[in-house]
Amino acid sequence: MMALSAARDAVYRRALDFAARQTRAVVEREPGFYPMYTRQGRWRHGQEAWTQWTDGFFAGLLWKLYAYTGDPWWRQQAEVYSAALEPRQHDREVHDLGFVFLNSYWPWQCVSGDRRLEAVIVQAGRTLAMRFNERGQFLRSFLAPESLFIDIMMNVPIILHAARVTGDVRLREIALAHCRTTARYLVRADGSTAHEGIFDLETGQFLRQSTQQGLRAESAWARGLAWSLYGFATVYRYTELPEFLEVSRRNAAYFVEHLPADGVPHWDFDADPTAPPPWGAQKDSSAAAIAASGLFDLAQLSGEDRWREAALQLLDALCGPKFLADQTPGWEGMLLHGVYHTGKGLGVDESVIWGDFFFVEALGKAVGLASSANSLPHSGADPQNS
C-alpha cells in the first residue's frame, strides 16, 4: 500500500479538525439532539424524517472523533449518545439497525472492552432478522412487506455479527440468503444497482425493480450504489466468500468509471446533468463519502491499490472548496451538496448526517487511524463458510 503524501495528510487532518469543530458545536448548542439533514444549513427544523434511520451516525461521529483526538470529552459524549439508543434494539419499524448499533454500541464495546454491550448488538441483529421473508428470501424494507431495498446491504452485517457471536446458524443463513437475493435482483451485470425490488408475497417470486429515492426504476441512484459497494465488501469481510467481493468490485467499477469531471457524482448516475436541479444537475456528496470509505475497505480486502487511489480522489474532491463547508459561515454541517430524498424534497442540496459521518470515517482510514472505533474491524471468515 502506498503511503499517504504529506500534502494529502495535511489537507485531510484540516478537514478532520473542521469536522470536530462542527460536531462539538452541535453538542454544545443542543445536547441530546441527533441531527439528520440540514435546511438552509441548519440541523434543527421541523421537516419530516420519512423514517428514523440515522441516529447511530451522530453517536458514531463522536466515537470517531474520540479516536482522532484522544480527548476524553468525546468519549463521554459518545457514551451518552450511544446509551440513549438502547431501546432501538427492539425496533421492528426500520431495516436500519446495523446503521444504528454498529456505529454506536460496537465502537463502545471495542473501546471499553465491556462484553455486556454485546447483548444489545446481538438483540438488534435478531430483531433485524425478523424482517426475513421466507418465500422471497430477503429482509423486507421498512416501507412494505413486498419491498427489498439496496440500503439493507449496509445493515445485514449486524446479523452476521450476531450469528458469529452466538453461533446461531439460522441467523447466518438469513443474512446470506438476503445478500444473494439482493445480488441477483438488484445488482445489474454492469455493476449498477436498483434501489428497490418488488416481490410477489404469495409465491415469493421477484416481480420488478423499482425506486423510492432514485430517478427511475432502471436508473442507478448514486447513494444506493455506494451502499451496495460498501455493504458487499463488509459481507465479504465477514464471510470470505468471493461471490460478495466480486459484487463489490463490480459496483466500484461502475461508480468510479461514471464519475463526472469534478469527481463527485450527481444524485443519480442517470440524471441529466444539463437539466436543472433537483432532478438534473444535483450532486450527492454523501454518495461520494460512503463510496470513499467503502473503497478503502475494498482495496484492503482485494489487495487492489486502484480502489484506494479512487477513494483518495473522492476525498480530494470533497475536501475542496466546492464541497467542504469550512468557507460557508453559519453552515452547521461539514459537506455541502448532499441529498436525502429528491422526490419528497427533503434535504436537497444540504448537509446530511450520513454524509458527514462517512466523510469522517473515510478521512480516518486515509490518515491511518488505527482504532477499532474508526471502522468495523471484523476479519476472518465465520466458522460455517457456505
Binding site for ligand GLY (CB under 6 A): 53, 151, 213, 223, 340
**Which of 196, 332 has the CB closer to ligand GLY?**
196
Q: Which residue is nearest to ligand GLY (CB)?
A: 151
| Cell numbers describing residue 29 | 448548542
**Which of 27, 150 has the CB closer to ligand GLY?**
150
User: In this structure, how many other beta carbons lie within 10 angstroms of the beta carbon of residue 381?
Assistant: 13
The residue type of 116 is: R
**Which of 106, 230 has the CB closer to ligand GLY?**
230
| Cell numbers describing residue 176 | 446470506
Task: Please report how close the Cβ of residue 196 comes to ligand GLY at its closest, in angstroms.
Answer: 11
Task: Please report how close the Cβ of residue 117 comes to ligand GLY at its closest, in angstroms.
Answer: 25
Alpha carbon distance 74, 53 (integer Å): 22
DSSP secondary structure, 113-156, as one string: --GGGHHHHHHHHHHHHTTEETTTTEEPPSS-TTEEEGGGGGTT
**Which of 74, 99 has the CB closer to ligand GLY?**
99
**Which of 151, 332 has the CB closer to ligand GLY?**
151
Task: Please report how close the Cβ of residue 103 comes to ligand GLY at its closest, in angstroms.
Answer: 14
**Which of 108, 354 has the CB closer to ligand GLY?**
354
**Which of 223, 365 has the CB closer to ligand GLY?**
223
Strand order across the 147-149 sheet: 147-149, 196-199, 206-210
Q: What angle do CA 179, 185, 190 make, to 5 degrees?
A: 100
**Which of 122, 154 has the CB closer to ligand GLY?**
154
What is the chain's percent helix, strand, coil content, to nearest 5?
55, 10, 40
Task: Please report how close the Cβ of residue 102 comes to ligand GLY at its closest, in angstroms.
Answer: 15
Task: Please report how close the Cβ of residue 298 comes to ligand GLY at its closest, in angstroms.
Answer: 19
- β partners of residue 209: 197
Task: Please report how close the Cβ of residue 88 comes to ligand GLY at its closest, in angstroms.
Answer: 16
User: In this structure, how many other beta carbons lie within 10 angstroms of the beta carbon of residue 73?
Assistant: 13
Task: Please report how close the Cβ of residue 343 comes to ligand GLY at its closest, in angstroms.
Answer: 11
- Residue bearing cell 459496483: 251
Alpha carbon distance 286, 355 (integer Å): 4
- Say whether 210 sits in a helix, a strand or coil: strand
User: In this structure, how many other beta carbons lie within 10 angstroms of the beta carbon of residue 367?
Assistant: 17
Task: Please report how close the Cβ of residue 145 comes to ligand GLY at its closest, in angstroms.
Answer: 18
The residue type of 151 is: D
